[in-house]
């Protein structure tokens, strides 16, 4: 069973599976609400998803200890484990750029891509995204927090896979795409994989 997250496609290929889809890393930045403004968000505040994209966009999450996170946006990461903007692995970036699906995606969604880069580079723009959900939030209420990297399966045709994808290659089961809420539902997914996908000897 191969469940490699950001390395899912590499490991699947090593097991003999097809190169399509490619796993492309997208970094998502978070900002945290300063403590004195946490009262603005008492639960989870999510936007209505845009069915054209698998990325939900900036939303607000109150954690169990009271911290409130705003984010994530989504920008192409220049390394698979590219958690910081300066993380660069030339070979991995070159592989992403060599994937035909990347350019098809870029042609289709370059305006969204440019907007996401802008959201990353400016706290004021980030705050504007958060304000769509809670109008009282200003840039001064936010401070930078951690980032996450999403393993996004991208087809050769430029399509972003927004659902689970499991391939079986011989006796090897490869999880090729496990989008959110795969963490929340990890145990149920494990049961599903064990019941339906483990090849019988």
Ligand X SMILES: Cc1cc2nc3c(=O)[nH]c(=O)nc-3n(C[C@H](O)[C@H](O)[C@H](O)COP(=O)(O)OP(=O)(O)OC[C@H]3O[C@@H](n4cnc5c(N)ncnc54)[C@H](O)[C@@H]3O)c2cc1C
Q: In this structure, what are the phi and psi dihedrals at residue 16, rounded to the nearest 5 degrees?
A: 100, 5
Per-residue x/- mask for ligand X, residues 101 to 140, rule CB under 6 A? Answer: ----------------------------------------
Torsion of CA 108, 119, 154, 44, to 10 degrees: -120
Binder among 25, 72, 101, 155 for ligand X (CB under 6 A): 72
Per-residue x/- mask for ligand X, residues 6 to 35, rule CB under 6 A? Answer: xx---x----------------x-------
Asked if residue 34 lies in contact with residue 141, where contact means CB atoms within 8 angstroms, the answer is yes
Q: Which tokens is 142 given?
A: 């936010």
CA 80 to chain centre: 12
The residue (of 29 and 155) whose beta carbon lies closer to ligand X is 29
| Number of residues counted as binding ligand X (CB under 6 A) | 20
Nearest distance from C-beta of residue 36 to ligand X, angstroms = 25
CA proximity to 169, closest of 9, 7, 6: 9
Nearest distance from C-beta of residue 99 to ligand X, angstroms = 19
Asked if residue 21 lies in contact with residue 164, where contact means CB atoms within 8 angstroms, the answer is no
The residue (of 11 and 134) whose beta carbon lies closer to ligand X is 11
Q: Which three-class secondary structure string do you get for 11-41?
A: HHHHCCCCCCCEEEEEEEEEEEECHHHHHHC
Binder among 19, 47, 148, 199 for ligand X (CB under 6 A): 148
Site for ligand X in 169-188 (CB under 6 A): 175, 178-184
Asked if residue 189 lies in contact with residue 33, where contact means CB atoms within 8 angstroms, the answer is no
Report d(CA 151, CA 27) in Å as an integer.
9
The residue (of 10 and 100) whose beta carbon lies closer to ligand X is 10
Nearest distance from C-beta of residue 200 to ligand X, angstroms = 23
Binding residues for ligand X, rule: CB under 6 A, are 3-7, 11, 28, 72, 148-151, 175, 178-184
């Amino acid at each position: 069973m191969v469940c490699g997250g950001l390395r899912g496609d590499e490991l699947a290929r090593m097991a003999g599976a097809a190169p399509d889809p490619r796993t492309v890393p997208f970094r998502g930045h978070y900002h945290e609400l300063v403590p004195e403004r946490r009262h603005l968000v008492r639960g989870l505040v999510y936007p209505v998803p845009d069915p054209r994209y698998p990325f939900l966009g900036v939303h607000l999450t109150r954690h169990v200890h009271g911290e409130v996170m705003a984010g994530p946006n989504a920008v192409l990461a220049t390394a698979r484990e590219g958690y910081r903007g300066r993380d660069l692995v030339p070979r991995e970036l070159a592989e992403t750029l060599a994937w035909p699906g990347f350019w098809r995606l870029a042609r289709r969604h370059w305006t969204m891509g440019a907007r996401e880069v802008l959201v990353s580079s400016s706290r004021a723009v980030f705050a504007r995204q958060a304000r769509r959900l809670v109008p009282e939030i200003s840039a001064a209420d936010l401070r930078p927090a951690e980032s996450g990297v999403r393993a996004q399966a991208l087809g050769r045709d430029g399509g972003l896979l927004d659902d689970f994808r499991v391939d079986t290659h011989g006796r090897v089961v490869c999880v090729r795409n496990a989008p959110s809420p795969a963490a929340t539902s990890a145990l149920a997914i494990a049961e599903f994989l064990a019941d339906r996908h483990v090849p019988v000897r």
